[in-house]
Structure 1
């Protein structure tokens, strides 16, 4: 699957826009497979802790500052007797509660199953109350590279420093591939989505789901598209949105009707240049709620910003690179990229080992190279998974997690 699709012709008329280097540090996932993507998803956990959902069904929990890690087996390869097909163990989606308790609740999904677990560090309650884990903590800005590259007889990430217990485990809850799970602000409800449906769960039980959205009705009208991502609004407890390969973001409210009610829709339109060639691909792979009124979307080569109060007017459209016709005959057309934000600044990856940074406050755009990844157009150089927590940016490439402390906003 990996390889070079095109070369300089693919990035036709590529613009060199303020390309600088983020000084990233990294750690490797301890799995041996050089042919597949190692990371299924990543999520910020607590302070400088990161959750990595791996393709082998393992959840890796790492505290990058305290040199602690834990590997927790979540899923094994399974077989669906009803559909007569294998269920891969790869963790495709996860979300965790936003509280800062001694135990964190994490929801995880593979292709068809959802599991809820509780994770905590191996320490006593007294140690937790005294915050002993912070006594010897060194600022991430002062952490030296040799901490993670030091040649010793034992790997500093070998020892498990976390323990977990399974709370709920529900199988074959979706017929198609689960691509998203999301908790609302109060942690009361959980939504899960596959390619065609979105279901609602009570997060404290997971006994039975309630279907909110089924796009099969729209497919009967001749349209062919799927749901790419679903998430709750971080600023409204009852509003959730989903994006599609048709270039739409649809917002629904679960308090208006029992099966939720559609409140607004945003459209990302394909555009062409003067030679009638496509300049923007409309399939939306991810989106984020910037505040109560603004939404940012990510397609393969574009970031768009919309205002909920004026759905027909796009506030900003930022091209990440120009494309030519060769992209439509390559596997690159199917690549999906996550987008994250902090204080109005958007961060998203590329297929050339770069992070695109878009400041929505000043409407400024630039790119940052990630040291350690080749700056060539290859799928294996892609940075598709990205998240931010407490001023630290995390991104994944193959079996490496890169992280850096973001500069304060000026």
Structure 2
């Protein structure tokens, strides 16, 4: 008999995992047959898989030149696309380590006797305005703005300093020298520019940069705050769903995102499977949504697990701003902003797990938070599954494919063949039984290059980068 579930129980169990340090890098070639045709993979793996080595977020910057990953150890690793290979189609997915830095450290809240993990929950890039790059990273409580910059010159020839750094006696200086810049080995520096803290009582699950490039939002289980990038000591609470009596709590906020073009519009999802579109022009506190997106429940599919599997784990606007994509436990849904009563497209990710919900509930896998992403022109969507499988759906041609990201099938120039899962009956030779799926191997975090057919897939402590093959 399944254990009874409360909203508090859900808040505790909805947390996802994360990652830490890269120990070795292997370059492997793989091909992929399916929607994005054939792919080539750069596998960046760690030899030892500690709890702190698990990747918790993956994010391309706006040009796709940089790829950032965060892990449970509070570390951010940035990969850069090889500049000399950028215009060579067959090598454009070559990414090498560009910068590594410790973003967050473990902390302890002595007032609440609560340990604050260093795990990186989300990373979001800011649009590039000058030579430097900026990104936001957050753990459960604190958001930081980081500046990533390059330095290949250093000043030399100071009047008041010796070459070893000691100060001269001013009385001994007989001539005036102008310091000059001399070349040095390229150094990539990551420096914290802002720290946004003490604004969230509950765990932060989302951050999203506004299209005005001046503000961003941060969301936890019950509240959403609006920040200005230049102001760290205060934020504005724009959504608050906390009831006066916590015993009356029926849902929590699971994700939130700004519209890509309309700076006044944002959306947030809930554990009840609803989407609320809000307009900040209507009121300072967006306690009344402008649109509510909710699909009527099918009575024939009603079960003890209905509310759990309908919880939305991720929401993403399309690049053109016309659609929203949501991910619940079993499916991906596409919503038109002009139609609130039902999604315009529904894609089943792993429907064969519906008969396994009881065991998935017992081992807490049913609370896994899968992410989803669009390709650059919104024609294909991608999300993860178990057994290191990930799914891609071509919206126009109504085709889908299941692929596996693993070290075993990542030999040079090997074709990454589509995988099929047998839910019951006689299993074919090229199929895998649903009973043999490994639920400890899961792809929760994925990202798609904004301009090219290059994808990044995180499998526990491994990062795979695929591209479509060029013949």
Q: Same fold (TM over 0.5)?
A: yes
Matched, 1:65 2:115: no
1:233 maps onto 2:259 in alignment: yes
How much does 1:286 deviate? 0.5
Q: Is 1:262 paired with 2:283?
A: no
Shift in CA distance, 214/278, structure 1 to aligned 2, threshold 3 Å: closer
Structure 2 equivalent of residue 13 of structure 1:
none
Cross-structure match for 2:464:
402
Instruction: Give the aligned partner of residue 380 of structure 1.
Output: 440
Q: CA RMSD in A?
A: 3.1
Aligned to 2:396: 361
Cα distance, 1:49 vs structure 2: 1.8
Is the contact made by 1:356 and 1:365 (CA closer than 8 Å) also made in structure 2? yes
Q: Where does residue 44 of structure 1 map in the other structure?
A: 60
Pair 1:348 & 2:383 matched: yes
Gaps of 5+ in 2: 1-12, 14-32, 84-95, 155-184, 410-431
Report 1:2-151 matches (<5 A): 22-28=39-45, 32-35=48-51, 38-45=54-61, 46-65=63-82, 67-99=96-128, 101-123=130-152
Query: How much does 1:318 deviate?
Result: 1.7
Distance in 2 of aligned mates of 1:407 and 1:228: 36
Q: Which residue, out of 188, 193, 197, partners 2:214?
A: 188
TM-fit CA distance, 1:370:
2.3
Of residues 322, 329, 337, the one that matches 1:308 is: 337
The change in CA–CA distance for 1:169 and 1:312 in structure 2 (over 3 A counts) is: same
- Cα contact 2:350–2:385 (8 A) shared by 1: no
Q: Is the 1:178–1:193 contact (alpha carbons within 8 Å) kept by the matching residues of 2?
A: yes
In 1, the alpha carbon distance for the partners of 2:265 and 2:301 equals 40
Q: Is the 8 A contact 1:24 1:370 kept in 2?
A: no
Q: TM-score with structure 1 length normalisation?
A: 0.79
- SS of the aligned residue for 1:310 comes to coil
Q: Distance in 2 between matches of 1:313 and 1:167?
A: 43
C-alpha contact (below 8 Å) 1:94/1:182 kept by paired residues: no
Query: Within the alignment, does 1:248 sit opposite 2:274 as a pair?
Result: yes
Residues 394 and 253 (structure 1), Cα distance of their counterparts in 2 relative to 1, 3 Å cut: same
Pair 1:284 & 2:312 matched: yes
- Give the secondary structure class of the aligned counterpart of 1:367: strand
Instruction: Report the Cα offset of residue 333 of structure 1.
Output: 0.7
Aligned length: 359
User: How many angstroms does 1:277 deviate by?
Assistant: 8.6
Residue aligning to 1:162: 188
Return the offset for 1:341: 0.3
SS class of match (2:390)? strand
SS of match in other structure, 2:149 = strand
SS in 1 for 2:290: strand
Shift, 1:221, TM fit: 8.8
Distance in structure 2 (CA, Å) of the matches to 1:373 and 1:234: 39
Contact 1:232 1:241 in 2 (8 A): yes
Q: Which runs of 5+ in 1 are unaligned?
A: 2-16, 126-158
